[in-house]
Chain A
Amino acid sequence: MEKKSLYKVIFPLVVIAIWEIFSIWLKKPAILPRVESVLIILIHPTQKILGIGNLLESTIVSIVRVICGFFLAVIVALPLGILMGYFKRVREITTTLIELLRPIPPLAWIPLALAWFGLKNFGDLLGIKTYHPILENLQIAMIFIIFIGAFFPILLNTIHGVKGVKIILIESAISLGARDKDILKKVILPSASPSILTGLRMGFGIAWMCVVAAEMLPGSNYGLGYLISHAYDIARIDVVIGGMIIIGIIGVITNTIFELFERKMFKWRAKGY
Protein backbone atom coordinates (compact mmCIF):
# COMPACT_ATOMS: atom_id res chain seq x y z
CA MET A 1 0.00 0.00 0.00
CA GLU A 2 1.19 3.49 -0.74
CA LYS A 3 2.32 5.58 2.18
CA LYS A 4 -0.28 8.26 1.51
CA SER A 5 -3.22 5.86 1.54
CA LEU A 6 -1.78 4.29 4.67
CA TYR A 7 -1.99 7.66 6.45
CA LYS A 8 -5.58 7.95 5.35
CA VAL A 9 -6.72 4.73 7.03
CA ILE A 10 -4.51 4.81 10.10
CA PHE A 11 -6.41 7.45 12.05
CA PRO A 12 -9.88 5.87 11.56
CA LEU A 13 -8.40 2.54 12.68
CA VAL A 14 -7.03 4.15 15.85
CA VAL A 15 -10.46 5.65 16.58
CA ILE A 16 -12.11 2.25 16.06
CA ALA A 17 -9.56 0.66 18.41
CA ILE A 18 -10.27 3.25 21.10
CA TRP A 19 -14.00 2.66 20.61
CA GLU A 20 -13.50 -1.08 21.06
CA ILE A 21 -11.40 -0.57 24.22
CA PHE A 22 -14.00 1.75 25.71
CA SER A 23 -16.91 -0.55 24.88
CA ILE A 24 -15.15 -3.49 26.54
CA TRP A 25 -14.37 -1.42 29.58
CA LEU A 26 -17.86 0.14 29.75
CA LYS A 27 -19.81 -3.11 29.26
CA LYS A 28 -22.98 -1.17 28.36
CA PRO A 29 -24.06 -1.94 24.76
CA ALA A 30 -27.01 0.45 25.14
CA ILE A 31 -24.50 3.29 25.37
CA LEU A 32 -21.51 2.04 23.39
CA PRO A 33 -21.85 -1.35 21.66
CA ARG A 34 -18.88 -3.46 20.68
CA VAL A 35 -17.40 -2.89 17.22
CA GLU A 36 -18.27 -6.49 16.28
CA SER A 37 -21.99 -6.06 16.92
CA VAL A 38 -22.06 -3.04 14.59
CA LEU A 39 -20.09 -4.98 11.97
CA ILE A 40 -22.64 -7.79 12.18
CA ILE A 41 -25.39 -5.28 11.42
CA LEU A 42 -23.43 -3.92 8.48
CA ILE A 43 -22.59 -7.27 6.90
CA HIS A 44 -26.18 -8.50 7.19
CA PRO A 45 -27.97 -5.58 5.57
CA THR A 46 -31.07 -7.59 4.71
CA GLN A 47 -31.69 -8.84 8.21
CA LYS A 48 -34.97 -7.66 9.73
CA ILE A 49 -34.47 -5.45 12.74
CA LEU A 50 -37.38 -5.72 15.22
CA GLY A 51 -40.15 -4.59 12.92
CA ILE A 52 -38.50 -1.40 11.77
CA GLY A 53 -37.29 -2.68 8.45
CA ASN A 54 -33.84 -3.71 7.41
CA LEU A 55 -30.75 -1.70 6.62
CA LEU A 56 -30.76 -2.25 2.85
CA GLU A 57 -34.41 -1.34 2.33
CA SER A 58 -34.08 1.69 4.57
CA THR A 59 -31.06 2.87 2.61
CA ILE A 60 -32.85 2.45 -0.73
CA VAL A 61 -35.91 4.32 0.49
CA SER A 62 -33.74 7.19 1.71
CA ILE A 63 -31.81 7.38 -1.55
CA VAL A 64 -35.00 7.43 -3.64
CA ARG A 65 -36.36 10.26 -1.49
CA VAL A 66 -33.16 12.26 -1.84
CA ILE A 67 -33.09 11.79 -5.59
CA CYS A 68 -36.71 12.98 -5.92
CA GLY A 69 -36.23 16.07 -3.76
CA PHE A 70 -32.89 16.81 -5.40
CA PHE A 71 -34.28 16.60 -8.93
CA LEU A 72 -37.19 18.85 -8.09
CA ALA A 73 -34.68 21.34 -6.72
CA VAL A 74 -32.58 21.10 -9.90
CA ILE A 75 -35.62 21.62 -12.11
CA VAL A 76 -36.55 24.82 -10.29
CA ALA A 77 -33.18 26.22 -9.20
CA LEU A 78 -31.24 25.75 -12.44
CA PRO A 79 -33.47 27.78 -14.81
CA LEU A 80 -34.13 30.35 -12.09
CA GLY A 81 -30.41 30.66 -11.40
CA ILE A 82 -29.65 31.13 -15.09
CA LEU A 83 -32.29 33.86 -15.38
CA MET A 84 -31.12 35.53 -12.19
CA GLY A 85 -27.50 35.35 -13.24
CA TYR A 86 -28.09 36.66 -16.73
CA PHE A 87 -30.74 39.32 -16.28
CA LYS A 88 -29.92 41.99 -13.76
CA ARG A 89 -33.60 42.93 -13.54
CA VAL A 90 -34.68 39.42 -12.56
CA ARG A 91 -31.94 39.42 -9.95
CA GLU A 92 -33.12 42.74 -8.55
CA ILE A 93 -36.72 41.55 -8.29
CA THR A 94 -35.98 38.21 -6.65
CA THR A 95 -32.94 38.88 -4.55
CA THR A 96 -34.63 40.23 -1.40
CA LEU A 97 -36.92 37.25 -1.06
CA ILE A 98 -34.14 34.78 -1.79
CA GLU A 99 -31.83 36.42 0.74
CA LEU A 100 -34.58 36.32 3.33
CA LEU A 101 -35.39 32.65 2.82
CA ARG A 102 -31.83 31.46 2.43
CA PRO A 103 -30.69 31.61 6.07
CA ILE A 104 -33.69 29.59 7.28
CA PRO A 105 -32.39 26.07 7.97
CA PRO A 106 -34.30 23.38 6.05
CA LEU A 107 -35.30 21.77 9.35
CA ALA A 108 -37.08 24.97 10.41
CA TRP A 109 -39.46 24.33 7.50
CA ILE A 110 -40.60 21.03 9.01
CA PRO A 111 -43.58 22.33 11.02
CA LEU A 112 -44.78 24.33 8.03
CA ALA A 113 -44.29 21.35 5.73
CA LEU A 114 -46.36 19.19 8.08
CA ALA A 115 -49.07 21.85 8.31
CA TRP A 116 -49.30 22.12 4.53
CA PHE A 117 -48.85 18.56 3.43
CA GLY A 118 -49.56 16.49 6.55
CA LEU A 119 -48.64 12.89 6.03
CA LYS A 120 -49.72 12.81 2.41
CA ASN A 121 -47.48 11.05 -0.06
CA PHE A 122 -47.02 11.28 -3.80
CA GLY A 123 -49.42 8.35 -4.24
CA ASP A 124 -52.19 10.51 -2.71
CA LEU A 125 -51.08 13.46 -4.79
CA LEU A 126 -51.41 11.49 -8.01
CA GLY A 127 -54.70 9.97 -6.84
CA ILE A 128 -53.36 6.43 -6.77
CA LYS A 129 -55.47 4.47 -4.30
CA THR A 130 -53.73 1.13 -4.47
CA TYR A 131 -50.52 0.45 -2.60
CA HIS A 132 -47.41 1.49 -4.46
CA PRO A 133 -44.10 0.63 -2.76
CA ILE A 134 -42.23 3.73 -3.99
CA LEU A 135 -44.89 6.45 -4.13
CA GLU A 136 -46.18 5.37 -0.71
CA ASN A 137 -42.83 6.24 0.83
CA LEU A 138 -42.47 9.60 -0.86
CA GLN A 139 -44.11 11.79 1.75
CA ILE A 140 -44.62 15.26 0.30
CA ALA A 141 -43.43 16.97 3.47
CA MET A 142 -40.14 15.06 3.39
CA ILE A 143 -39.51 15.70 -0.29
CA PHE A 144 -40.26 19.36 0.39
CA ILE A 145 -37.61 19.55 3.12
CA ILE A 146 -35.05 17.88 0.86
CA PHE A 147 -36.05 20.26 -1.92
CA ILE A 148 -35.45 23.28 0.31
CA GLY A 149 -32.10 21.91 1.42
CA ALA A 150 -30.82 21.31 -2.13
CA PHE A 151 -32.44 24.39 -3.67
CA PHE A 152 -30.27 27.21 -2.34
CA PRO A 153 -26.80 25.83 -2.99
CA ILE A 154 -27.82 25.00 -6.56
CA LEU A 155 -29.46 28.38 -7.10
CA LEU A 156 -26.63 30.47 -5.65
CA ASN A 157 -23.87 28.61 -7.45
CA THR A 158 -25.72 28.80 -10.74
CA ILE A 159 -26.18 32.56 -10.34
CA HIS A 160 -22.53 32.90 -9.44
CA GLY A 161 -21.46 30.85 -12.46
CA VAL A 162 -23.67 32.69 -14.95
CA LYS A 163 -22.74 36.11 -13.58
CA GLY A 164 -19.10 35.17 -13.91
CA VAL A 165 -19.26 34.47 -17.66
CA LYS A 166 -16.72 36.80 -19.25
CA ILE A 167 -18.32 39.48 -21.41
CA ILE A 168 -15.57 39.05 -23.96
CA LEU A 169 -16.59 35.44 -24.54
CA ILE A 170 -20.17 36.51 -25.21
CA GLU A 171 -19.03 39.31 -27.51
CA SER A 172 -16.67 36.97 -29.24
CA ALA A 173 -19.55 34.53 -29.82
CA ILE A 174 -21.75 37.35 -31.13
CA SER A 175 -19.03 38.49 -33.51
CA LEU A 176 -18.80 34.91 -34.79
CA GLY A 177 -22.49 34.95 -35.62
CA ALA A 178 -24.03 33.38 -32.50
CA ARG A 179 -27.68 34.08 -31.70
CA ASP A 180 -29.26 34.15 -28.24
CA LYS A 181 -29.88 30.42 -28.04
CA ASP A 182 -26.33 29.65 -29.19
CA ILE A 183 -24.99 32.01 -26.57
CA LEU A 184 -26.97 30.26 -23.84
CA LYS A 185 -26.10 26.76 -25.01
CA LYS A 186 -22.57 27.22 -26.24
CA VAL A 187 -21.20 29.98 -24.03
CA ILE A 188 -23.13 30.59 -20.83
CA LEU A 189 -23.83 26.99 -19.85
CA PRO A 190 -20.37 25.58 -20.52
CA SER A 191 -18.72 28.58 -18.91
CA ALA A 192 -20.92 28.33 -15.80
CA SER A 193 -20.85 24.54 -15.63
CA PRO A 194 -18.02 24.16 -13.09
CA SER A 195 -19.85 26.42 -10.67
CA ILE A 196 -23.17 24.71 -11.41
CA LEU A 197 -21.66 21.32 -10.68
CA THR A 198 -20.27 22.61 -7.39
CA GLY A 199 -23.81 23.71 -6.56
CA LEU A 200 -25.19 20.28 -7.45
CA ARG A 201 -22.59 18.58 -5.28
CA MET A 202 -23.27 20.85 -2.31
CA GLY A 203 -27.03 20.57 -2.88
CA PHE A 204 -26.87 16.80 -2.93
CA GLY A 205 -24.82 16.76 0.28
CA ILE A 206 -27.35 18.92 2.09
CA ALA A 207 -30.26 16.94 0.61
CA TRP A 208 -28.73 13.80 2.06
CA MET A 209 -28.47 15.40 5.50
CA CYS A 210 -32.06 16.63 5.21
CA VAL A 211 -33.53 13.23 4.35
CA VAL A 212 -32.16 11.68 7.52
CA ALA A 213 -33.60 14.51 9.61
CA ALA A 214 -36.92 14.45 7.73
CA GLU A 215 -37.27 10.72 8.29
CA MET A 216 -37.27 11.31 12.02
CA LEU A 217 -40.56 13.17 11.53
CA PRO A 218 -43.89 11.74 12.63
CA GLY A 219 -45.53 9.78 9.84
CA SER A 220 -42.27 8.38 8.66
CA ASN A 221 -42.29 4.63 8.37
CA TYR A 222 -39.11 3.81 6.57
CA GLY A 223 -35.66 5.10 5.77
CA LEU A 224 -32.30 5.43 7.46
CA GLY A 225 -33.38 8.35 9.64
CA TYR A 226 -36.43 6.39 10.77
CA LEU A 227 -34.31 3.31 11.35
CA ILE A 228 -31.77 4.99 13.59
CA SER A 229 -34.25 7.04 15.60
CA HIS A 230 -36.42 3.97 16.26
CA ALA A 231 -33.42 1.78 16.95
CA TYR A 232 -32.67 4.24 19.73
CA ASP A 233 -36.23 3.80 21.08
CA ILE A 234 -35.60 0.08 21.41
CA ALA A 235 -32.07 0.63 22.77
CA ARG A 236 -30.33 -0.87 19.75
CA ILE A 237 -27.34 1.47 19.67
CA ASP A 238 -25.50 -1.00 17.43
CA VAL A 239 -28.16 -0.34 14.78
CA VAL A 240 -27.94 3.41 15.43
CA ILE A 241 -24.20 3.40 14.81
CA GLY A 242 -24.49 1.01 11.86
CA GLY A 243 -27.05 3.34 10.25
CA MET A 244 -24.85 6.34 10.88
CA ILE A 245 -21.91 4.61 9.23
CA ILE A 246 -24.04 3.86 6.15
CA ILE A 247 -25.11 7.51 6.00
CA GLY A 248 -21.47 8.54 6.08
CA ILE A 249 -20.40 6.02 3.47
CA ILE A 250 -23.12 7.06 1.03
CA GLY A 251 -22.15 10.70 1.51
CA VAL A 252 -18.55 9.86 0.67
CA ILE A 253 -19.54 7.79 -2.37
CA THR A 254 -21.75 10.47 -3.91
CA ASN A 255 -19.19 13.16 -3.23
CA THR A 256 -16.50 11.07 -4.89
CA ILE A 257 -18.71 10.48 -7.93
CA PHE A 258 -19.25 14.22 -8.27
CA GLU A 259 -15.54 14.88 -7.92
CA LEU A 260 -14.59 12.29 -10.53
CA PHE A 261 -17.14 13.84 -12.83
CA GLU A 262 -15.73 17.30 -12.24
CA ARG A 263 -12.20 16.16 -12.93
CA LYS A 264 -13.24 14.47 -16.15
CA MET A 265 -15.46 17.27 -17.39
CA PHE A 266 -13.26 20.18 -16.52
CA LYS A 267 -9.89 19.21 -17.86
CA TRP A 268 -9.88 22.55 -19.63
CA ARG A 269 -9.62 24.46 -16.43
CA ALA A 270 -6.21 25.66 -15.45
CA LYS A 271 -4.85 28.17 -13.03
CA GLY A 272 -5.46 31.75 -14.01
CA TYR A 273 -8.25 30.95 -16.40
Chain B
Amino acid sequence: MGYLKIKNLEKSFGNLRVLESINLEIEENEFICIVGPSGCGKTTLLRLIMNLEKPDKGEILIKERPAEKSHSELGFVFQELALFPWRRAIENVEFPLEIKGIEKEKRKEIAQRYIKMVGLEGFEKNYPFELSGGMRQRVALARVLAKNPEVLLMDEPFASVDAQTRNKLQQELTKLWQITEKTIILVTHNVEEAVYLGDRIVVLSKRPSHIKKIYPNFLERPRNRTSPEFVRLRREILDAIDKF
Protein backbone atom coordinates (compact mmCIF):
# COMPACT_ATOMS: atom_id res chain seq x y z
CA MET B 1 0.00 0.00 0.00
CA GLY B 2 1.54 3.27 -1.14
CA TYR B 3 1.97 6.20 1.20
CA LEU B 4 1.70 8.72 -1.63
CA LYS B 5 -0.20 7.70 -4.74
CA ILE B 6 -0.35 9.50 -8.06
CA LYS B 7 -3.12 8.20 -10.30
CA ASN B 8 -3.63 8.97 -13.99
CA LEU B 9 -2.33 12.48 -13.58
CA GLU B 10 -2.68 14.78 -16.59
CA LYS B 11 -1.80 18.41 -17.05
CA SER B 12 -1.75 20.82 -19.98
CA PHE B 13 -0.93 24.51 -20.17
CA GLY B 14 -3.16 25.76 -22.98
CA ASN B 15 -2.33 23.59 -25.95
CA LEU B 16 0.88 22.38 -24.41
CA ARG B 17 0.44 18.87 -23.02
CA VAL B 18 2.94 18.51 -20.23
CA LEU B 19 2.01 15.37 -18.33
CA GLU B 20 -0.03 12.43 -19.46
CA SER B 21 -1.14 9.46 -17.38
CA ILE B 22 1.41 9.63 -14.62
CA ASN B 23 1.02 6.74 -12.20
CA LEU B 24 3.36 6.40 -9.26
CA GLU B 25 3.26 4.95 -5.76
CA ILE B 26 5.73 6.10 -3.17
CA GLU B 27 6.43 4.45 0.18
CA GLU B 28 6.79 6.25 3.46
CA ASN B 29 10.35 7.38 4.18
CA GLU B 30 11.34 6.66 0.61
CA PHE B 31 13.78 8.89 -1.29
CA ILE B 32 12.56 9.25 -4.86
CA CYS B 33 14.50 11.07 -7.55
CA ILE B 34 12.83 12.14 -10.76
CA VAL B 35 14.96 12.77 -13.81
CA GLY B 36 14.13 13.45 -17.43
CA PRO B 37 14.97 15.65 -20.37
CA SER B 38 14.69 19.38 -19.75
CA GLY B 39 11.21 20.81 -20.16
CA CYS B 40 9.61 17.42 -19.57
CA GLY B 41 7.37 18.54 -16.75
CA LYS B 42 9.34 17.37 -13.73
CA THR B 43 8.73 20.65 -11.95
CA THR B 44 5.06 20.61 -12.94
CA LEU B 45 4.67 17.21 -11.31
CA LEU B 46 6.06 18.55 -8.03
CA ARG B 47 3.91 21.67 -8.24
CA LEU B 48 0.83 19.52 -8.73
CA ILE B 49 1.65 17.52 -5.61
CA MET B 50 2.14 20.76 -3.65
CA ASN B 51 -1.17 22.06 -5.03
CA LEU B 52 0.52 25.07 -6.62
CA GLU B 53 -1.14 23.89 -9.86
CA LYS B 54 -4.39 22.03 -10.40
CA PRO B 55 -4.37 18.80 -12.43
CA ASP B 56 -6.67 18.45 -15.45
CA LYS B 57 -7.26 14.81 -14.62
CA GLY B 58 -6.28 12.26 -12.06
CA GLU B 59 -5.59 12.50 -8.39
CA ILE B 60 -2.85 12.58 -5.81
CA LEU B 61 -3.43 10.83 -2.50
CA ILE B 62 -1.41 10.97 0.67
CA LYS B 63 -2.38 8.26 3.13
CA GLU B 64 -5.53 7.82 1.02
CA ARG B 65 -6.49 11.49 1.46
CA PRO B 66 -6.40 13.99 -1.42
CA ALA B 67 -3.08 15.86 -1.37
CA GLU B 68 -4.75 19.28 -1.36
CA LYS B 69 -6.15 18.40 2.06
CA SER B 70 -2.77 17.28 3.30
CA HIS B 71 -1.13 20.63 2.77
CA SER B 72 0.55 20.59 6.15
CA GLU B 73 2.22 17.27 5.33
CA LEU B 74 4.02 18.79 2.37
CA GLY B 75 7.06 21.02 2.12
CA PHE B 76 8.59 22.52 -1.01
CA VAL B 77 12.16 23.56 -1.75
CA PHE B 78 12.35 25.77 -4.81
CA GLN B 79 15.01 25.83 -7.45
CA GLU B 80 15.44 29.59 -7.45
CA LEU B 81 16.11 31.68 -4.45
CA ALA B 82 12.85 31.74 -2.53
CA LEU B 83 14.03 33.14 0.78
CA PHE B 84 12.45 36.34 2.07
CA PRO B 85 15.23 38.87 1.49
CA TRP B 86 14.01 41.17 4.30
CA ARG B 87 14.32 38.42 6.89
CA ARG B 88 17.54 37.29 8.49
CA ALA B 89 18.45 33.60 8.13
CA ILE B 90 16.84 32.64 11.42
CA GLU B 91 13.77 34.78 10.74
CA ASN B 92 13.29 32.91 7.48
CA VAL B 93 13.39 29.63 9.39
CA GLU B 94 10.88 31.04 11.89
CA PHE B 95 8.38 31.87 9.14
CA PRO B 96 6.39 28.60 9.14
CA LEU B 97 6.42 28.65 12.94
CA GLU B 98 4.97 32.17 12.98
CA ILE B 99 2.23 31.00 10.65
CA LYS B 100 1.43 28.19 13.05
CA GLY B 101 1.15 30.79 15.82
CA ILE B 102 3.98 29.45 17.94
CA GLU B 103 5.15 31.99 20.51
CA LYS B 104 8.34 33.92 20.03
CA GLU B 105 10.65 32.21 22.52
CA LYS B 106 9.65 28.72 21.44
CA ARG B 107 9.96 29.77 17.80
CA LYS B 108 13.52 30.99 18.24
CA GLU B 109 14.46 27.79 19.98
CA ILE B 110 13.02 25.52 17.28
CA ALA B 111 14.49 27.65 14.47
CA GLN B 112 17.89 27.55 16.13
CA ARG B 113 17.72 23.76 16.22
CA TYR B 114 17.14 23.58 12.48
CA ILE B 115 19.82 26.18 11.78
CA LYS B 116 22.19 23.90 13.65
CA MET B 117 20.92 20.85 11.80
CA VAL B 118 21.86 22.37 8.43
CA GLY B 119 25.21 23.61 9.75
CA LEU B 120 24.54 27.34 9.69
CA GLU B 121 25.42 28.25 13.26
CA GLY B 122 26.99 31.69 13.33
CA PHE B 123 25.03 32.89 10.32
CA GLU B 124 21.61 33.23 11.98
CA LYS B 125 21.72 37.01 11.85
CA ASN B 126 22.77 37.32 8.22
CA TYR B 127 20.46 38.48 5.49
CA PRO B 128 20.12 36.20 2.44
CA PHE B 129 22.14 38.58 0.25
CA GLU B 130 25.07 38.11 2.61
CA LEU B 131 25.07 34.32 2.18
CA SER B 132 26.55 32.13 -0.55
CA GLY B 133 24.32 30.09 -2.86
CA GLY B 134 24.94 26.92 -0.87
CA MET B 135 24.18 28.61 2.44
CA ARG B 136 20.96 30.05 1.07
CA GLN B 137 19.76 26.59 0.10
CA ARG B 138 20.63 25.40 3.60
CA VAL B 139 18.44 28.16 5.01
CA ALA B 140 15.66 27.11 2.62
CA LEU B 141 16.06 23.54 3.83
CA ALA B 142 16.00 24.56 7.49
CA ARG B 143 12.90 26.66 6.80
CA VAL B 144 10.98 23.83 5.19
CA LEU B 145 12.08 21.43 7.94
CA ALA B 146 10.75 23.91 10.50
CA LYS B 147 7.31 23.46 8.97
CA ASN B 148 7.86 19.80 9.84
CA PRO B 149 6.10 18.17 6.90
CA GLU B 150 6.21 14.42 6.30
CA VAL B 151 7.01 14.83 2.63
CA LEU B 152 9.70 17.07 1.15
CA LEU B 153 9.30 18.09 -2.48
CA MET B 154 12.57 19.41 -3.82
CA ASP B 155 12.81 21.06 -7.22
CA GLU B 156 16.43 20.99 -8.39
CA PRO B 157 17.49 22.38 -5.04
CA PHE B 158 21.20 22.33 -5.80
CA ALA B 159 21.08 23.50 -9.42
CA SER B 160 22.62 26.89 -8.76
CA VAL B 161 25.61 25.93 -6.60
CA ASP B 162 29.08 24.85 -7.69
CA ALA B 163 29.94 21.16 -8.05
CA GLN B 164 31.88 20.91 -4.81
CA THR B 165 29.18 22.52 -2.70
CA ARG B 166 26.61 20.41 -4.46
CA ASN B 167 28.36 17.16 -3.46
CA LYS B 168 28.58 18.34 0.10
CA LEU B 169 24.90 19.32 0.19
CA GLN B 170 23.94 15.94 -1.25
CA GLN B 171 25.86 14.20 1.54
CA GLU B 172 24.18 16.34 4.14
CA LEU B 173 20.74 15.88 2.63
CA THR B 174 21.23 12.12 2.83
CA LYS B 175 22.07 12.45 6.52
CA LEU B 176 19.13 14.76 7.19
CA TRP B 177 16.82 12.33 5.44
CA GLN B 178 18.13 9.48 7.58
CA ILE B 179 17.76 11.48 10.81
CA THR B 180 14.37 13.03 10.13
CA GLU B 181 12.77 10.06 8.33
CA LYS B 182 11.00 12.22 5.78
CA THR B 183 9.71 11.04 2.46
CA ILE B 184 11.57 12.97 -0.23
CA ILE B 185 10.71 13.52 -3.86
CA LEU B 186 13.57 15.32 -5.55
CA VAL B 187 13.58 16.50 -9.13
CA THR B 188 16.89 16.94 -10.90
CA HIS B 189 18.39 16.95 -14.36
CA ASN B 190 21.62 15.63 -12.90
CA VAL B 191 21.65 11.84 -13.13
CA GLU B 192 24.66 11.50 -10.83
CA GLU B 193 22.74 13.39 -8.18
CA ALA B 194 19.76 11.09 -8.63
CA VAL B 195 21.91 7.95 -8.33
CA TYR B 196 23.69 9.37 -5.29
CA LEU B 197 20.46 10.24 -3.48
CA GLY B 198 17.56 8.08 -4.59
CA ASP B 199 16.11 4.78 -3.42
CA ARG B 200 14.38 4.73 -6.75
CA ILE B 201 15.01 6.84 -9.82
CA VAL B 202 12.01 7.69 -11.92
CA VAL B 203 12.81 8.54 -15.54
CA LEU B 204 10.27 10.70 -17.34
CA SER B 205 9.91 10.82 -21.11
CA LYS B 206 9.86 13.90 -23.31
CA ARG B 207 6.70 16.04 -23.37
CA PRO B 208 3.94 14.99 -22.98
CA SER B 209 5.66 13.12 -20.17
CA HIS B 210 4.86 9.74 -18.80
CA ILE B 211 6.99 7.49 -16.66
CA LYS B 212 9.48 5.76 -18.94
CA LYS B 213 11.11 3.55 -16.39
CA ILE B 214 11.78 3.28 -12.68
CA TYR B 215 15.25 2.19 -11.56
CA PRO B 216 15.60 0.74 -8.08
CA ASN B 217 18.88 1.71 -6.46
CA PHE B 218 20.15 -0.70 -3.80
CA LEU B 219 23.62 0.81 -3.48
CA GLU B 220 24.62 1.15 0.11
CA ARG B 221 24.94 4.60 1.69
CA PRO B 222 27.13 6.55 1.91
CA ARG B 223 27.45 5.98 -1.80
CA ASN B 224 30.70 6.09 -3.64
CA ARG B 225 30.38 8.05 -6.87
CA THR B 226 33.29 6.25 -8.49
CA SER B 227 32.37 2.66 -7.63
CA PRO B 228 31.70 0.47 -10.69
CA GLU B 229 28.08 -0.17 -9.61
CA PHE B 230 27.44 3.54 -9.23
CA VAL B 231 28.96 4.32 -12.59
CA ARG B 232 27.08 1.47 -14.28
CA LEU B 233 23.67 2.59 -12.97
CA ARG B 234 24.41 6.16 -13.90
CA ARG B 235 25.42 5.13 -17.43
CA GLU B 236 22.31 3.00 -17.81
CA ILE B 237 20.01 5.87 -16.87
CA LEU B 238 21.86 8.36 -19.05
CA ASP B 239 21.54 6.02 -22.01
CA ALA B 240 17.85 5.62 -21.35
CA ILE B 241 17.35 9.38 -21.35
CA ASP B 242 19.44 9.80 -24.51
CA LYS B 243 17.22 7.38 -26.40
CA PHE B 244 14.16 9.62 -26.21
Report which A residues bind B (CB closer than 8 A). Answer: 168-169, 171-179, 182, 186-187, 190-191, 193, 266-270, 272-273
Contact = CB atoms under 8 A, between A and B. Distances in A.
B99 A178 contact: yes
Contacts of A182: 98-99
Interface string B61-99: 000000000011011101011111111000000011011
A171 B81 CA distance: 12
Interface in B81-132: 81-87, 95-96, 98-100, 127-130
Contacts of B75: 175-176
Contacts of A176: 75, 95-96, 99, 143-144, 147
Given A187-B84, A190-B86, A273-B129, 15 more contacts: A168-B82, A171-B52, A171-B76, A175-B74, A176-B95, A176-B147, A177-B100, A186-B95, A190-B84, A193-B86, A266-B86, A268-B87, A269-B129, A270-B130, A273-B85
B76 A175 contact: yes
Contacts of B72: 177
B85 A175 contact: no
Interface string B135-150: 0000000011001000
B50 interface: yes
B146 to A, nearest CB: 8
Contacts of B127: 267-268, 270
Given A172-B78, A267-B127, A268-B129, A177 B86 contact: no
Contacts of A168: 78, 80-82
Nearest to A189: B86
Contacts of A268: 85-87, 127-129
Contacts of A175: 50, 52, 74-76, 144
A172 B82 contact: yes
Nearest to A172: B82
A84 to B, nearest CB: 22
Contact of B71 (A173, A177, A272): A177
B129 to A, nearest CB: 4
A169 B84 contact: yes
A181 to B, nearest CB: 10
Contact of B95 (A173, A193, A272): A173
10 contacts: A168-B78, A169-B82, A171-B82, A172-B78, A172-B82, A176-B99, A182-B98, A186-B98, A273-B128, A273-B129
A171 B76 CA distance: 9
Most buried by A among B78, B83, B85: B85
